[in-house]
Amino acid sequence: RRPSKRVPPGSLGLPIIGQSLGMLRAMRTNTAEKWLEERVQKYGPISKLNLFGKPTVFIYGQAANKFIFTSDGSVLSNQQTRSVKMILGERCLLELNGEDHKRVRDALVSFLKPDFLKRYVGKMEEEVRIHLETYWKGKQIVKVLPLMKTLTFDIICSLLFGLERGARRDQMVQYFQRMIEGMWSIPINLPFTRFNRSLKASKDGQKMLKQLIREKQYEFENNLASSHQDLITCLLSIRGENNQQLISENEIIHNVMLIMVAGHDTSSVLITFIVRLLAKNPNIHVAVLKEQEEIAQSKSPEESLTWEDLGKMKYTWRVAMETMRIFPPIFGGFRQTVKDIEYGGYLIPKGWQIFWVTAKTHLDSSIFQEPEKFDPARFENPGSLPPYNFVPFGGGARICPGYEFAKIETLVTIHYLVTHFAWKLCCTDDFFSRDPMPAPTQGLPIQIIPRKPI
Ligand code: HEM
């Protein structure tokens, strides 16, 4: 078929600004789905707009997700905002395409695959225990979101970077927290801007990582590495013919920074929203508690959780999936067309952005009946769910490689939370803003009542 010469309906708005401010405002006021629905009502399921200075086409639904996730690099390339590229570096996975993307991704997956991660359940559990003893024990009110950010940072530092607790880990966490704060803002290189503070923190963090990598390289080459292999050592150990290192120092630094961001912001949001939903749905809370108590009672108090125990947490994981259906941590993302393409009968010119949105498909009543209702039973038989309808982790060649990691940390944390504490929400409003990660009012303060000692 000859491609139609028509670009999708819609307006590109003012030059550069386009609809970016309207979209950002809708994200911050938790009305982004409504904002997009109004577009669909006005222009139909495929429409053009101008986001962050680029002509963009917004598409959603099963076919759209399939198109985005299965198109190869000859049709669509990955597309990040300029601020993300400047802060994370040009060799991180988000910037790589084709063979380079596959080589670096395979290296990361060799560490993040279940066979490797199952050895680390006990180490994650140790981090959760220490966290609860430090920040929850003896408290009456805690703020869940900031604490979950601290916990997921700690887990990543310990498991992925082999950085033990202490001044060095604290310094690293500070750099990364500052870096993330302004990562999504508009890049203006002035000393007082949020972006510039992030860029500086990214450079300081990179310097520290470089030092850490050199130490790990020395340990690796002199057979001094500990038996608990971390991600950095794992990447250093990937060798080709003649024993040459296959992942360069810059690739290690940029991807370690990506993992720090991708791995901590998302899982902390997921756990926070599960805590919120359990407080609002007592029946579901009771069912999760029952499942977790059965596991706890099958072990002595000193015994660690195992991979097999996690396999028994089926209901809890269904609750997590339903939480991600309604409140996906990642709102959506961008790709860029590598050539003129035809989609849905329209022409999308070369160099335009394509904007995909998770929640718009997740809340579609033709896919999920009564989409506003929180119902974990939808995931009783995940195999029956048609592909590309439930996409909190994306899909295809760029599907989230941290899925298993996120699953383990979520299940271990929820196990400890429900078996050791009961809780009530201090703010009962339903509001959360997206910046771009969802954040409930005041970071979700809750009143906690201990069930049994940590
Ligand atoms: C609930 C937790 C998580 C959610 C919802 C999530 C979601 C996502 C999504 C939607 C993408 C794909 C974006 C796209 O196609 O453009 C992605 C990519 C990615 N995620 Fe996650 N993620 C989570 C946790 C993690 C964790 C724990 C890690 C690392 C330990 C991680 C590392 C990554 C990386 C490196 C990518 C880029 C993959 C690539 O471009 O090939 N994520 N994630």
pLDDT tens figures, 359-372: 899 999 999 999 99
- Among 156, 393, 434, say which to mutate for ligand 1: greatest number of ligand atoms within 8 Å of CB: 393
Query: In this model, does residue 430 exceed pLDDT 70?
Result: yes
Ligand 1 atom showing the smallest separation from residue 410 Cα: 1
Query: Measured from the CB, is residue 270 less than 6 Å from ligand 1?
Result: yes
Query: Measured from the CB, is residue 66 less than 6 Å from ligand 1?
Result: no
Query: Measured from the CB, is residue 255 less than 6 Å from ligand 1?
Result: no
The number of residues in the chain equals: 454
Query: In this model, does residue 1 exceed pLDDT 50?
Result: no
Query: Measured from the CB, is residue 402 less than 6 Å from ligand 1?
Result: yes
The Cα-based distances of 30 to 27, 306, 439 in angstroms read 5, 38, 10
Mean pLDDT of 427-451: 92
Mean pLDDT of 54-80: 93
Angle (nearest 5°) at CA 182 between 34 and 439: 40
Ligand 1 atom showing the smallest separation from residue 335 Cα: 16
Q: Report the distance separating Cα 265 and Cα 276, nearest Å.
A: 17
Tokens for 450, please give them: 């201990």
Mean pLDDT of 13-32: 91
Neighbour tally for 55: CB within 10 Å = 17
Query: Measured from the CB, is residue 155 less than 6 Å from ligand 1?
Result: no
- Among 103, 149, 266, say which to mutate for ligand 1: greatest number of ligand atoms within 8 Å of CB: 266
Q: Report the distance separating Cα 385 and Cα 99, nearest Å.
A: 31
What residue has token string 């195992």?
Answer: 306
Distance 17 CA to ligand 1 centre (A): 28
Query: Measured from the CB, is residue 393 less than 6 Å from ligand 1?
Result: yes
* pLDDT value of residue 160: 84
Nearest alpha-carbon partner for 421 in 383, 376, 454, 385: 454
What is the percentage of the chain residues whose pLDDT exceeds 90?
Answer: 76
pLDDT tens figures, 48-64: 999 988 999 999 999 99
Calculate Rg over the CA atoms of the chain: 22
What residues contact residue 453 under an 8 Å CB cut-off, 6+ apart?
Answer: 420
Distance 11 CA to ligand 1 centre (A): 32
Q: Are 261 and 183 in contact (CB under 8 A)?
A: yes
What residues contact residue 360 under an 8 Å CB cut-off, 6+ apart?
Answer: 33, 36, 37, 60, 61, 332
Angle between helices 249-280 and 144-159 (to 10 degrees): 140
Tokens for 290, please give them: 């029952």
Between 244 and 147, whose confidence is greater? 147
What residue has token string 């108590």?
Answer: 293
Question: Residue 41: phi, psi to the nearest 5?
Answer: -60, -40
At residue 109 the predicted structure's pLDDT band, cuts being 50, 70 and 90, is very high
At residue 84 the predicted structure's pLDDT band, cuts being 50, 70 and 90, is confident
Most confident of 97-111, 159-173, 253-267, 316-330: 316-330
Query: In this model, does residue 2 exceed pLDDT 70?
Result: no
At residue 301 the predicted structure's pLDDT band, cuts being 50, 70 and 90, is confident
| Residue-averaged pLDDT of the chain | 92
* pLDDT value of residue 225: 72
* pLDDT value of residue 137: 97
Query: Measured from the CB, is residue 124 less than 6 Å from ligand 1?
Result: no
Query: Measured from the CB, is residue 259 less than 6 Å from ligand 1?
Result: yes
Q: Are 367 and 387 in contact (CB under 8 A)?
A: no
Query: Measured from the CB, is residue 392 less than 6 Å from ligand 1?
Result: yes
At residue 227 the predicted structure's pLDDT band, cuts being 50, 70 and 90, is low
- Among 400, 403, 404, 407, say which to mutate for ligand 1: greatest number of ligand atoms within 8 Å of CB: 400
Q: Are strands 54-59 and 353-357 parallel, antiparallel or unpaired?
A: parallel
Complex-level ipTM = 0.99
Q: Are strands 141-143 and 445-450 parallel, antiparallel or unpaired?
A: antiparallel
Q: Are 75 and 401 in contact (CB under 8 A)?
A: no
